[in-house]
């Protein structure tokens, strides 16, 4: 019995018995926390420790009394404060206690009374607010269902998905309210009133410009192509950068500079994402992530489990986890005991395997590069010859989607290679998983980088024959083009997620359930692998961040996409999958998701910064080379002339040649040749896509003249592109 | 202090509210559930007890591997049969409630894990604890070799004074650094 009582002595005595424990800094923080929680538990309503007394009052064995003695001695010093607190707290619930509270309040000064009652009121409001807020949360019931069935690891994936939906929606709101809405308003008022704002040049031309020279009878499947690849009728919509060719909007009292708003919006949404991620990150990190055995043993059982099946599963997964952890520890010991010779062998093996991995990565990147270039060239060819009929619908679509297909293939094959390779490298199991994951992350995110790089190499052209700094012949508005590529990647990613669920996971489930072949049984049911699923959505998010600059509606599309992905994943989880045999801990997984997401964000910022810096030319000359320095516009007319054309390319550059003017308008698709000699035979050029040469010297005199005339008339900033047409019509 | 009437007297209710971490609704629900377990004739005794076998039919405790330990720890019965009065039952629910402090939770957790009631977690206690976690049957147990390794690891992490056992303050110290403990040590009716 001595033993028993000794064990439940007060904490102070135990601490003396345990001088080592007392010296631990973490123990000191624990003591501190206890103290502060004691004082902060004023916030709790029904705090009472006096109930130990009532427990033992019912009588009991010595043993029980001894235990209760522990409670009493420990709470002795804080008892008076507890009483005080209790009296203050409880009247909130009980009518009888309210009197008691009033009595206590009379002892307090007026200021303190007011402060505490105000504090209570605020706290109650906050609690009610949080209850209302949590009931309004998106997918609350779905997420609870998933938690009950599959545990907290998979729950963290879904709450991460919800976070991304919200983030995308906020990004969309930001862009919509500061860029899209003003432009839409401005464009609408353009038709109602006289041109309110400056150089809405593309509008009239765009109305002439048919979706990629498809006029008259358009085959139905071409609409599908357009929808999937963002070309044709989609190209002129607000989806892409090209539609925001508004220099500034002249409101009655002030002028709204769209380019600046656009740039600030980009910075703002990147910052918003960064801050939001960091905020989530900090809330995760505040819980110290502990991987110790003690955490696994003492906090192992989830007492919330009421389902017997779930309990059985929990037993199994605990056993598995413990076994693998012990195994890992043994392997770690074995590694420590390795001889030098063995070490040498393993390091050389790892080195060669890493070289091999690099080769695989390089091959993938090269394939992406080749595919992008090839796809771009085919697209350019189709554009130039207007001969989309050359390829059938499906083939043309495949060519369009070639980069996306290659990237998806690479992302599908490389993880398999990596998991095979890693088993030879002889790492510890936990490190194996992490390292494979790291390679996959690199593969996923770098493939986007390679795609951008190859696109960039196509857009850029040699200095000599490139007055505008980029290949205007092929990419009249390269920003729109990049936006289209990102749009395609996003759509394709979504299609793949849907297709894999429908055509791989679902049949697999049916096969496993209804076939008895050994192979099928060995394959087993699909496991819901959290890391790969997370990688998939982070890949999509990175594309969205990059693409949002070129395709401002991409966050909206991404919101819708993730909204649907949530349901797809939920259905496949509940119907097709079994829980992973190796559980993924909630605390570590959330950490991992956010870390990878942060890498994705950084990766997305780099191309935006690089592209906007190296090509300040195209950027500052405007949306698709418009936004120009005002003084140069007003001073030199040849300059304004050039600007008009840079602007109008892509939509339709027009002939200033009066002869062919009507003809051009009807095709609506061609080029403005300022070059004098070629003006004479423009007929041949009418079908050729838009070559606009801006050699200013060769511009004909009469031309410059007419422009001068109109410009003085319109005072430089008026619907520039309409000017030549109007002029030529009057001629 | 009796639960003679099926309806809980108001002053008692408020007292319970004061003395536990439970809300009014939770106490009323607990009272209802407790009375369902109580046999008809027992209701008229001054302080009736529900035997452990009946308490364990609650779905909240049914699949818990520590269900018997929980009953023993919270029982005030002199026979040490794990039977619970209504107040014991409330104590149980209070310790497992959402708003209970870490200190109280870890205190009760220690007593639950202390299978031989000697005030320390010795290797024997730890072995029983691990067996409870992995399952009762023979094939779900760890091998003796693995068990020894695991217990050594646990002691290495938590036994600060190196006396071969884990005492309460050592246990509370370890628990305070475990991120998952508070969320897992929870029973809601």
What is the DSSP secondary-structure string of A358-395? HHHHHHHHHHHHHHHHHHHHHHHHHHHHT-GGGS-HHH
Chain A interface includes B86 (CB < 8 A): no
The strand pair at A526-527 and A577-578 is best described as parallel
- Which is higher by pLDDT, B19 or B151? B151
C-beta of residue B98 within 8 angstroms of C-beta of residue A303: no
Specify the pLDDT at position A475: 61
The size of chain A, in residues, is 731
Which of B70, B96, B122 represents a domain boundary (last residue)? B96
What residues form DSSP beta bridges with A249? A256
pLDDT band at A359 (very low <50, low <70, confident <90, very high): very high
Give the residue among A458, A448, A498, A512 at the shortest CA–CA distance from A481. Answer: A458
Chain B residues within an 8 Å CB radius of A15: 169
Which of A63-72, A208-217, B61-70 is least confident? A63-72
- The two tokens of residue A647 are 């602007």
Same domain, B76 and B137: no
Contact B150 A293 (CB under 8 A): yes
pLDDT band at A63 (very low <50, low <70, confident <90, very high): very low
Is a pLDDT exceeding 60 seen at residue A485? yes
Contact B150 A56 (CB under 8 A): no
What residues form DSSP beta bridges with A256? A249
Chain A residues within an 8 Å CB radius of B11: 96
Alpha helices per DSSP H over B78-142: 86-95, 102-113, 123-134
Average pLDDT over residues A662-684: 32
CB contacts under 8 A, B 159-178 vs A, are 160-162, 167-178
Same domain, B106 and B158: yes
Specify the pLDDT at position A560: 93
Is a pLDDT exceeding 60 seen at residue A97? no
Same domain, B107 and B169: yes
Average pLDDT over residues A668-693: 32
Same domain, B118 and B147: yes
Which of B74, B96, B118 represents a domain boundary (last residue)? B96
Specify the pLDDT at position A731: 34
Chain A interface includes B146 (CB < 8 A): yes
Please state the φ and ψ torsions of residue B97, each to the nearest 5 degrees.
Answer: -75, 170
Looking at the partner chain, which of B21, B76, B77 has a beta carbon nearest the beta carbon of A46?
B21
Specify the pLDDT at position A562: 93
B1 falls within a domain: no
Q: Kindly report, residue by residue over A710-719, the tens digit of the pLDDT.
A: 333 333 333 3
Q: Enter the pTM of the model.
A: 0.62
Closest chain A residue by Cα to residue B148: A326
Same domain, B109 and B64: no
Which of A226-240, A512-526, A607-621, B25-39 is least confident? A607-621
Task: Name the average pLDDT for chain A.
Answer: 64
B5 falls within a domain: no
Query: By percentage, how much of chain A surpasses pLDDT 90?
Result: 5
Same domain, B37 and B85: yes
Choosing among B8, B12, B13, B18, which should be mutated to test the A contact, i.e. which has the most A CBs within 10 A?
Answer: B18
- The two tokens of residue A659 are 């002869």
- The two tokens of residue A284 are 């995760």
Average pLDDT over residues A367-394: 74
B110 falls within a domain: yes
Give the highest mean pLDDT range of A2-11, B132-141, B146-155: B146-155
Average pLDDT over residues A21-35: 60
**CB proximity list for A720: less than 8 A, separation 6 or greater:** A199, A201, A640, A643, A644, A647
Please state the φ and ψ torsions of residue A44, each to the nearest 5 degrees.
Answer: -75, 150
B142 falls within a domain: yes
Specify the pLDDT at position A173: 92
CB contacts under 8 A, B 3-22 vs A, are 10-11, 14, 17-22
Chain A interface includes B62 (CB < 8 A): yes
Closest chain B residue by Cα to residue A65: B76
- What is the rounded distance in angstroms from the CA atom of residue A642 to the CA atom of residue A648? 10
Give the residue among A407, A414, A718 at the shortest CA–CA distance from A542. Answer: A407
Closest chain B residue by Cα to residue A62: B78
A282 CB neighbour count, 10 Å cutoff: 10
Looking at the partner chain, which of B60, B135, B181 has a beta carbon nearest the beta carbon of A306?
B60
Is a pLDDT exceeding 50 seen at residue A258? yes
pLDDT band at A572 (very low <50, low <70, confident <90, very high): confident
The size of chain B, in residues, is 189
**CB proximity list for A434: less than 8 A, separation 6 or greater:** none
Size of interface A-B (CB pairs under 8 A): 217
Say whether A256 sits in a helix, a strand or coil: strand
Contact A94 B117 (CB under 8 A): no
CATH of residue B159: 1.10.238.10
Chain A residues within an 8 Å CB radius of B14: 90, 93-94, 96-97
Looking at the partner chain, which of B78, B104, B140 has a beta carbon nearest the beta carbon of A319?
B140
Same domain, B82 and B120: no
C-beta of residue B21 within 8 angstroms of C-beta of residue A47: yes
pLDDT band at A559 (very low <50, low <70, confident <90, very high): very high
Contact B63 A305 (CB under 8 A): yes
B2 falls within a domain: no
Catalogue the E-assigned strands of chain B. Answer: none
Same domain, B139 and B165: yes
Is a pLDDT exceeding 70 seen at residue A156? yes
A370 CB neighbour count, 10 Å cutoff: 14
B83 falls within a domain: yes
Chain B residues within an 8 Å CB radius of A586: 180
**CB proximity list for A695: less than 8 A, separation 6 or greater:** A467, A674, A675
Same domain, B27 and B87: yes
Chain B residues within an 8 Å CB radius of A7: 118-120, 167-168
Is a pLDDT exceeding 60 seen at residue A421? yes
What residues form DSSP beta bridges with B50? B84
Same domain, B151 and B122: yes
Contact B119 A6 (CB under 8 A): yes
- What is the rounded distance in angstroms from the CA atom of residue A300 to the CA atom of residue A290? 13
Specify the pLDDT at position A565: 92
Looking at the partner chain, which of B19, B96, B178 has a beta carbon nearest the beta carbon of A298?
B178
Contact A298 B167 (CB under 8 A): no
Which of B96, B114, B135 represents a domain boundary (last residue)? B96
**Residue B59 Cα, gap to closest chain A Cα (Å):** 6
pLDDT band at B173 (very low <50, low <70, confident <90, very high): confident
- The two tokens of residue A399 are 């060519």
B4 falls within a domain: no
Q: Kindly report, residue by residue over A603-648, the tens digit of the pLDDT.
A: 888 877 877 666 543 433 334 433 333 333 322 232 323 333 333 3
Same domain, B22 and B78: yes
Contact A64 B76 (CB under 8 A): yes
pLDDT band at A244 (very low <50, low <70, confident <90, very high): low
Contact B181 A299 (CB under 8 A): yes
Full residue range of the structural domain in which residue B142 is found = 102-186
- Which is higher by pLDDT, A539 or A397? A539
Average pLDDT over residues A216-231: 67
Choosing among B180, B183, B187, B189, which should be mutated to test the A contact, i.e. which has the most A CBs within 10 A?
Answer: B180
**Residue B40 Cα, gap to closest chain A Cα (Å):** 22
Specify the pLDDT at position A583: 59
Specify the pLDDT at position A658: 29
Chain B residues within an 8 Å CB radius of A35: none
Q: What is the DSSP letter of A503?
A: I
* Domains identified in chain B, total number: 2
B3 falls within a domain: no
Contact B119 A293 (CB under 8 A): no
C-beta of residue A402 within 8 angstroms of C-beta of residue A374: yes
Same domain, B31 and B46: yes
CB contacts under 8 A, A 248-307 vs B, are 287-290, 292-295, 297-307
Say whether B84 sits in a helix, a strand or coil: strand
Average pLDDT over residues A376-385: 72
């Amino acid at each position: 019995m001595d033993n028993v009582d000794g064990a439940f002595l007060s904490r102070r005595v135990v601490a003396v018995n345990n001088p080592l424990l007392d010296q631990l800094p973490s123990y000191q923080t624990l003591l501190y926390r206890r103290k502060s929680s004691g004082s902060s538990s004023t916030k709790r309503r029904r705090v009472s420790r006096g109930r130990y007394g009532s427990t033992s009052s019912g009588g009991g064995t010595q043993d029980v009394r001894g235990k209760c003695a522990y409670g009493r001695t420990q709470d002795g010093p804080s008892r008076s404060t507890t009483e005080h607190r209790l009296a203050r707290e409880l009247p909130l619930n009980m009518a009888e206690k309210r009197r008691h509270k009033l009595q206590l309040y009379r002892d307090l000064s007026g200021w303190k009374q007011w402060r505490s009652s105000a504090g209570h009121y605020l706290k109650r409001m906050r609690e009610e607010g949080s209850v209302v807020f949590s009931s309004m949360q998106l997918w609350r019931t779905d997420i609870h269902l998933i938690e009950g069935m599959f545990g907290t690891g998979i729950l963290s994936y879904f709450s991460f998905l919800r976070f991304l939906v919200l983030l995308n929606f906020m990004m969309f709101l930001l862009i919509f309210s500061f860029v899209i809405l003003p432009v839409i308003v401005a464009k609408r008022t353009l038709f109602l009133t006289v041109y309110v704002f400056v150089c809405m040049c593309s509008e009239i031309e765009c109305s002439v410009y048919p979706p990629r020279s498809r006029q008259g009878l358009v085959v139905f499947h071409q609409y599908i192509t357009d929808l999937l690849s963002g070309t044709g009728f989609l190209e002129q919509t607000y989806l892409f950068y090209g539609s925001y060719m508004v220099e500034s909007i002249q409101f009655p009292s002030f002028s709204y500079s769209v380019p600046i708003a656009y740039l600030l919006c980009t910075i703002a949404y990147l910052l918003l994402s960064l801050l939001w991620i960091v905020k989530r990150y900090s809330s995760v990190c505040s819980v110290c992530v502990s991987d110790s055995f003690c955490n696994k043993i003492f906090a192992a059982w989830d007492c919330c489990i009421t389902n017997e099946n779930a309990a059985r599963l929990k037993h199994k997964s605990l056993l598995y986890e413990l076994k693998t952890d012990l195994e890992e520890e043994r392997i770690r010991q074995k590694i420590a005991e390795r001889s030098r010779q063995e070490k040498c062998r393993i390091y050389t093996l790892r080195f060669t395997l890493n070289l091999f991995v690099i080769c695989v990565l390089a091959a993938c990147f090269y394939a992406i590069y080749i595919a992008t270039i090839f796809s771009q060239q085919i697209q350019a060819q189709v554009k130039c010859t207007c001969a989309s009929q050359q390829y059938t619908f499906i083939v043309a679509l495949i060519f369009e989607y070639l980069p996306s297909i290659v990237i998806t293939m690479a992302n599908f094959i490389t993880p398999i290679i990596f998991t095979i390779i890693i088993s030879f490298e002889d790492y510890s199991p936990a490190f194996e998983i992490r390292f494979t994951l790291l390679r996959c992350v690199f593969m996923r995110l770098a493939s986007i980088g390679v795609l951008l790089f190859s696109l960039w190499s196509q857009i850029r052209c040699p200095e000599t024959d490139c007055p505008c700094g980029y290949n205007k012949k092929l990419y009249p508005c390269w920003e729109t083009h990049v936006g289209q590529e990102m749009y395609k990647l996003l759509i394709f990613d979504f299609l793949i997620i849907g297709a894999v669920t429908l055509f791989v996971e679902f049949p697999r489930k049916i096969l496993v359930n209804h076939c008895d072949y050994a192979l099928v049984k060995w394959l087993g049911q699909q496991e819901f692998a959290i890391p790969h699923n997370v990688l998939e959505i982070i890949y999509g998010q990175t594309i969205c961040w990059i693409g949002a600059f070129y395709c401002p509606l991409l966050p909206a599309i991404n919101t819708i996409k993730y909204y649907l992905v949530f349901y797809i994943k939920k259905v496949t989880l509940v119907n097709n999958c079994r829980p992973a045999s190796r559980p993924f801990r909630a605390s570590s997984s959330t950490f991992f998701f956010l870390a990878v997401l942060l890498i994705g964000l950084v990766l997305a910022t780099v191309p935006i910064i690089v592209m906007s810096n190296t090509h300040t030319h195209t950027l500052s000359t405007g949306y698709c080379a418009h936004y120009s320095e005002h003084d140069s516009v007003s001073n030199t007319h040849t300059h304004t002339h050039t600007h008009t054309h840079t602007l109008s390319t892509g939509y339709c550059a027009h002939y200033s040649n009066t002869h062919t003017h009507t003809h051009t308008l009807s095709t609506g698709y061609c080029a403005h040749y300022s070059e004098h000699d070629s003006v004479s035979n423009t007929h041949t050029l009418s079908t050729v896509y838009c070559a606009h040469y801006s050699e200013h010297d060769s511009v004909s005199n009469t031309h410059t003249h007419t422009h001068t005339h109109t410009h003085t008339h319109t005072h430089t900033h008026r619907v520039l592109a309409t000017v030549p047409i109007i002029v030529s019509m009057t001629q | 202090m009796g639960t003679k009437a099926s309806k809980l007297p108001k002053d008692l209710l408020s007292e319970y509210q004061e003395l536990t971490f439970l809300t009014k609704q939770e106490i009323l629900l607990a009272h209802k559930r407790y009375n369902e377990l109580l046999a008809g004739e027992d209701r008229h005794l001054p302080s009736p007890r529900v035997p452990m076998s009946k308490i364990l039919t609650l779905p909240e405790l049914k699949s818990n591997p520590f269900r018997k330990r929980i009953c023993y720890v919270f029982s005030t019965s002199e026979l040490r049969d794990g039977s619970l009065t209504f107040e014991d039952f409330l104590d149980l629910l209070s310790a497992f409630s959402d708003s209970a402090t870490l200190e109280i939770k870890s205190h009760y957790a220690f007593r639950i894990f202390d299978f031989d009631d000697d005030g320390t977690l010795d290797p024997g206690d730890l072995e029983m604890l691990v067996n409870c976690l992995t399952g009762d049957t023979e094939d779900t147990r760890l091998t003796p070799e693995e068990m020894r390794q695991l217990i050594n690891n646990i002691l290495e992490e938590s036994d600060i004074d190196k006396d071969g056992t884990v005492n309460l303050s050592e246990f509370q110290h370890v628990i305070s650094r475990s991120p998952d403990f508070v969320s897992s040590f929870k029973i809601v009716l």
